[in-house]
Each structure stands twice: as C-alpha cells, then as structure tokens.
Amino acid sequence: MKEENGITLTKLCIVLSFYLLLILISVFALKNSYKTADLEKFVSKMELVQEKVNLIRNNYKLWEDYDANNPGNYNAYLKELGFSNANNFSNIYITEFNGIIKELNESNVDYWDSNTDSIISNYFYLGPDDISKYLGLKNIDLHIIINFYTGNVIEKDGIIDITNSNKRIYRQYDTKIGNKLVLSEISSNTVFPKIEIIENYGLKQKVKIFLTSEVKNIPDILEIYYYNGENDDIKKNATKFQDYIYVKEEKAVYFTIDLSGDYTFIIKDTNYIEYPKVNLKVNLCNPPVLAEGMKGIYWNQAGEEIEIQGENDPNWYNYSSDFMKMANVKSEDGNYWVWLPKYVYKEADGEIIIDFVKGSSSISTKNKQNIGYKLQEAFENDGNLKGIWIAKFQASRGGPKTVDVKPGKPLRIFKTQTAKENCEKYIDNSLKKYSRLISIHEINAIILYSKSEEIEIANDLVHYAGGAVDKYGYISNVQYSSTNNVFGIYDLITSENEVTIESNNNDEGRYRPVLLIK
C-alpha cells in the first residue's frame, strides 16, 4: 500500500539531480568569477608597472646624455639607476622569456616590432623584490622584463584571458592598456609634421622632416618610416636613406634621396603618437650644366626674379609634377635659357610617359629597366649630352651684332639662313661656341615633356616674346608656357611656323637658339 504523504524514489532522484546541477553551475560560475578576478588583478598590476615604466622613460628624456639615435643610452641610464640587464645571471627565467619572445615573433601581434622588441639584451629583468626596490610597488608578485626603449612589459607566466578566446596574454599591450606615455601633454592635434627639400643636386635631394607646433614642448622623434609608390604596402625605416641623422635640437631628421618616386612618410614620436602622412614626389634628373657667364634664377610667389644662392639651391628647380619648376638661367647679355634634362619616353594607351635618366646613360632615375621606353630623339646623336639649354623665348635680332632672347621683344620673321647665322654669330661671346638653331627633335622634346604632364600650351597670337608687349608680361601669361607657369619655355605655338636647323634656306619664320654644353 502506497503512502499518501511520502516521496517516491523517482522524485528523490529528480530533486537530487536538480540540486547537483545547481551546484555544478555555481561552481562553474565561481570558477569563472575567480578567473575574471585573476585577470583583473593581473591587468591592475601590469597597469601599475606600466605607469612606473612610463615615468622612467619620461625622466630619461631629460637626462643630460640623451640621444634619440642611440637606444643603448637607455642601458647606461638604467644601470645608473641600479637595474640589471635581462641577460644578467639574476634573470633565472631567461629561457622562459626567450620562449615568449619567440611566440610573439611568430604570432604577428599588434605593436610588436621584431627589430627592437625581440632582442633580449634590450630588456631588464625585475622580480617581485626588484619591482618593490626599483619601482616602489609593494606586493606585486610578478616576474617581468621591460624594454625601456619601446616601453614593452612582458610577464613570465601571463594569464588566460577568458574574455578573448582563452588566449594567454603576457604583455601590457595585450591588456588593452598599452605603453602610451600618460604624463605627456603633447597631442597630435597641436603638433604637425612637415617636409622640406634642403638641397637639390639634380640626381639626389637632401630632405628635412620635422615636427612643428605653436606650443613649446615638441616631442622627440622616435622613428620615421615610409612607403615608396601608391601600391607599396611594405613599411620601411627612413634610417635606410643616405646620410640619415636626427638633430634633437631641431626635432628634425635629415637624409638624402637618390631614387625617383612617390614617397609617403609617417613620423612616430617618443610618446608613440603617429602623425598625419606627409607626401613627397621626387623626380630626379641631370642637374643643369653651366657655362661661364650663366647665373641661375627663379621667381618667387610675388613674381620677382631672384638669383640663386649656389647651384644646390632648392628654390632653383624641381622637375616633379608637384612643382614643374624648370631650371632657368640668364647669360651675361641678359638672355634667358631653360634647361631640359635628358629623358626617355613611351606612349601607352594614349598617354605619354617620360623618365629622366642618369648622366649620359639611358638608365632611369627610378632604377627600372625602361622596358618599352626609347631615348628622345634630341639626345640620340650625341651620347655625351646630359640636357639642352633652350631659349626661353623666341629670338629676335637686337643690335647689329646681338640676338635677344628676352620677353616683350617684337618677333620678326627671318629666313632660315639668317636665323642660322644669328644663332651662330650673334649670341653672347661666352656662349657662341655652344649655340645653334633649334632642331625639330628638340622642339618635339619640349612638347612631349608638356604632354606627359597633361599640359596644353595656348596658341600665342601676340607677336611679342612672352606673349606681351612689355618685358614683365610673361609672368602672368603662363598659358603660353610649356609648364603653365613662369618657369617654362614660351612661344612654342604661333601663327607662323618656327624655322629649325632642318628647314630649307628659303623657309621663313620665327626662330629659337639652343645651347649644347657638355
């Protein structure tokens, strides 16, 4: 007979199972709770260590022997404070730390640079006693190595991050705290990067990259890296450039570029702040070959004619698309000449592409094989030519024994033979031996150069050199220039044909001399 108020065995089993499940859930939750608490403790301890490391790094910036080019100075500074290098015998866990570094090298994690972060000699080892002694932090039961150069802090055992796929973390970076210098008042909103060409040697350029700001405390530069070309995704350190030097007093880096291309530079300061990109288009070419009596000139933004301060003056010329500044000179007779460097070219899909070359060779300043390119015909007959001086304006007879290549002069029609004689006999004495009438290939060389930059030269219907009746009109009449600015060659398209050295002696037209200086 069954009892009315009793419990069956089945019901008892169900109740026990339910309580057992509750216990299991509670244990699992408690275990995860302990794990979460352990993670939070680990993060908290590492954060305290990181703040002390940042403080030491900031103080180091004020050290009298500070040199940002030499990370080894950190070793001297920290030894002075009493730290032991990670290679020291006191680091009994060196094998474990080397294993962690190997793992980080192979994991491709963020903020890990194998060039600086993976070198054990760049680290200092601190056990719990050292952390207490040197960092002033009590009850921190960690065994760590610190790279004071980069701010990296690595803990020997790490901890499982249950919030991130049970991944074991060893570093402060991986706890999302990072090593940013928290004491710095500098931000990228008040400091800006700039780039300038300091000296121009034609086939190489000396460049200055620096930080500028209206505030006084500009941070030091930690590194500059760059990309070369629009499709380049390989980050390279600017220390690879020639003559690289960091000048701390100027917060500036100097180096020399000897390869044409489109460069993108990114500055990182010692606070690990990265600044907006700065771009530089470099189109190297043979520098102008000067003869006696020539002086280099350029025009400032106000249109004033300025004499250069030496042949490496960066204001004189720059043949990249961003500038389109051809080199200009004045000879002793006041005539103007423009330098067209030697180049190769090709036509592809209706586009004309030119590359300047090195010296008297046909090797591109971009160091490429020039497949599909050919030497421009103006340079074919004389392999020693590095470029051509072309009259800036169409020429006209001046006095009885002079030729004027000057703006604002009336352009008269001459027969070919007279034009040839004018170029051979009446050019200034110091340049006479280099002078002759322009050839059709040399005219085409100018036109091709303009077309490669997608410049359309306007038709000059004004029968005055430079497209104006006064000697300053060319400064504003840039639509008649080969570069659409004041630095180009004028009067290229006219209502009359231009006579050339290939013209028949009976042909008539305006004329233009060239100078072939080797």
In a domain, 55, yes or no: yes
Q: Are 473 and 466 in contact (CB under 8 A)?
A: yes
Average pLDDT over residues 230-238: 79
- Please say whether the dihedral angle defined by the alpha carbons of residues 257, 263, 269 and 275, taken in this order, is positive or negative: positive
Q: What is the residue-averaged pLDDT of the chain?
A: 84
List all residues 6 or more positions away from 46 whose beta carbon is below 8 Å from its beta carbon: 142, 153, 155, 172, 175, 177
Same domain, residue pair 276 and 312: no
Of the candidates 452, 454, 517, 463, the one whose C-alpha atom is nearest the C-alpha of residue 490 is 463
Residue 231 lies in a domain: yes
- Using pLDDT thresholds of 50, 70 and 90, give the confidence band for residue 115: confident
| Partners of residue 126 on adjacent β-strands | 144
Q: How does strand 387-391 pair with strand 295-299?
A: unpaired
pLDDT of residue 17: 67
Residue 321 sits in the same domain as residue 404:
yes
Do 220 and 343 fall within a single domain?
no
228 and 307 together in one domain: no
Q: What pLDDT does 388 receive?
A: 97
Query: Could you tell me the CA-to-CA distances from 514 to 340, 389, 448 in Å, in that order?
Result: 11, 6, 17
466 pLDDT exceeds 80? yes
Domain range for 162 is 32-175
Please report the pLDDT score of residue 107 as a whole number. 81
Structure confidence by residue, pLDDT tens digits, 478-513: 999 999 999 999 999 765 678 999 999 999 999 999
Q: Are residues 277 and 309 in the same domain?
A: no
Do 274 and 311 reside in the same domain of the chain? Answer: no
In a domain? residue 268: yes
How far are the Cα atoms of 33, 67, 275, 420, 490 from residue 152, in angstroms, in the given order?
Answer: 29, 20, 21, 74, 60
Instruction: Look at residues 175, 203, 221 and tell me which one is the last residue of a structural domain.
Output: 175
Contact of 372 with 349, CB cutoff 8 Å:
no
64 and 210 part of one domain = no
Do 221 and 266 sit in the same domain of this protein? Answer: yes
Q: Considering the domain boundaries, does residue 18 fall inside one?
A: no
Rounded percentage of the chain residues whose pLDDT exceeds 90: 48
Q: Quick one: 340 and 405 in the same domain?
A: yes
15 domain residue, yes or no: no
Do 266 and 207 belong to one domain?
Answer: yes
CATH of the domain at 242: 2.60.40.10
- The residue among 125 and 179 whose pLDDT is bigger is 125
Q: Are residues 419 and 315 in the same domain?
A: yes
Residue 437 has pLDDT above 80, yes or no: yes
Taking a C-beta distance cutoff of 8 angstroms, is the pair 208, 238 a contact?
no
**Region of poorest pLDDT, from 29-43, 94-108, 206-220, 483-497:** 29-43
pLDDT digits (tens, 9 = 90+) for 167-180: 888 887 676 544 44
pTM of the predicted structure, to 2 decimals: 0.67
Give 453's contacts (C-beta < 8 A, 6+ positions apart): 321, 324, 483
pLDDT one-digit tens code per residue, 393-428 = 999 988 888 999 999 999 899 999 999 999 999 998
For residues 334 and 270, membership in a common domain is answered with no
Listed residues 240, 259, 282: the one ending a domain: 282
pLDDT of residue 186: 37
Residue 17 covered by a domain: no
The CA distance from 193 to 503, in Å, is: 54
Q: Concatenated DSSP letters for 236-291?
A: EEGGGSEEEEEEGGGTEEEEEE-S-EEEEEEEEETT-PBPPPEEEEE---PPP---
Coil, strand or helix at 156: strand
Which of 245, 260, 282 finishes a domain? 282
CA–CA separation, 31 and 487 (whole Å): 77
Degrees, nearest 5: CA angle 423-391-302: 150
Domain tally, the chain: 3
- Measured CA to CA in angstroms, residue 187 lies from 191, 192, 388, 410 at distances of 7, 10, 50, 60
